[in-house]
């Protein structure tokens, strides 16, 4: 059972509140980030449908309620929320500046997060506020795991293995940091797609940073015209499902001596 959560680096318990259910009826069914819409077509004179595409048509959302923690109140009257507390809660949760990281405190889900925004409705009893109903909207159909980072000390032409542990098939563009230990044209190839990232005019000691999600590349050397020397193929890590298991082994091969750090958040299909 969820009782506490963290949002934008603050905890619900910091406000003396807990997650609750004012209409608890026991079991419930919740979305888990696996709501896929299938597009089908039926050929003429056939009774069978063919699947021609599938999409995620909506982001993950959930609705839950919060109230005062009865363990921290002296009497039933203290369960009511003051206007000042309601103001503080809604100022914390209901923002218009984009998504913030949301994490729940529940065994097995400590390392899962959503990028979330909230709407709030007040729950009123006898003319006084006893809780808030929160509707969470996220920026993706699923959740993510805390960032995973791996560092490799590489020799030119020597490969290294990287496993994508996401629940979702396909690819993710990770963040990549490359510390050059030799000079020249740097190439990085992944066996999963056989495509090559290429950066010319690299120098010893240079640090190249790649923001995979936003597809931005920068260099620690101001004189390096990185935008002109880059072929604009951003590295990808892949995950394919196969009978009997998952093919998530990405074998990278760099062309120059370097240290490479790969960072990403694996996709997780879980619900509240």
What does the pLDDT read at residue 25? 42
pLDDT by residue (tens digit) across 187-217?
Answer: 999 999 988 999 999 999 999 999 999 999 9
pLDDT by residue (tens digit) across 255-269?
Answer: 999 999 999 999 998
Confidence grade of residue 27 (pLDDT, cut at 50, 70, 90): very low
Supply the pTM of this predicted model.
0.80
The predicted model gives 66-81 an average pLDDT of 80
In contact, 197 and 235? CB cutoff 8 Å: yes
pLDDT by residue (tens digit) across 138-151?
Answer: 988 889 999 999 99
What does the pLDDT read at residue 186? 98
- What tokens were used for 69? 């923690």
What does the pLDDT read at residue 214? 94
DSSP string covering 48-98: --EEEEEE--S--EEEEEEEE-GGG-SSGGGGSPPHHHHHHHHHHH--SS-
């Amino acid at each position: 059972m969820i009782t506490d959560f963290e949002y934008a680096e603050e905890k619900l318990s910091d406000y003396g509140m807990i997650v609750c259910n004012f209409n608890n009826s026991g079991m419930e069914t919740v979305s888990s980030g696996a709501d896929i819409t299938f597009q089908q077509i039926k050929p003429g004179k056939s009774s069978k449908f063919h699947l021609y595409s599938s999409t995620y048509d909506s982001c993950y959302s959930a609705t839950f309620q919060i109230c005062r923690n009865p363990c921290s109140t002296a009497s039933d009257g203290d369960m009511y929320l003051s206007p000042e507390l309601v103001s503080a809660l809604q100022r914390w949760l209901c923002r218009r500046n984009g998504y913030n990281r949301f994490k729940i405190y529940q065994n097995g889900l400590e390392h899962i997060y959503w990028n979330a925004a909230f709407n709030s409705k007040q729950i009123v009893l006898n003319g006084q506020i006893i809780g808030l109903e929160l509707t969470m909207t996220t920026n993706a159909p699923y959740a993510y795991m805390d960032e995973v980072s791996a560092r490799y000390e590489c020799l030119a032409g020597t490969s290294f293995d990287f496993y994508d542990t996401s629940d979702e098939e396909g690819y993710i563009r990770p963040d990549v940091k490359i510390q050059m230990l030799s000079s020249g044209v740097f190439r990085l190839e992944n066996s999963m797609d056989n495509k090559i990232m290429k950066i010319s005019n690299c120098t010893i000691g240079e640090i190249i940073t790649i923001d995979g999600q936003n597809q931005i590349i920068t260099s620690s050397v101001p004189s390096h015209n990185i935008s002109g020397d880059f072929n604009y193929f951003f590295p990808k890590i892949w995950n394919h499902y196969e009978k009997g298991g998952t093919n998530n082994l990405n074998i990278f091969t760099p062309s120059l001596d370097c240290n490479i750090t790969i960072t990403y958040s694996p996709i997780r299909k879980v619900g509240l």
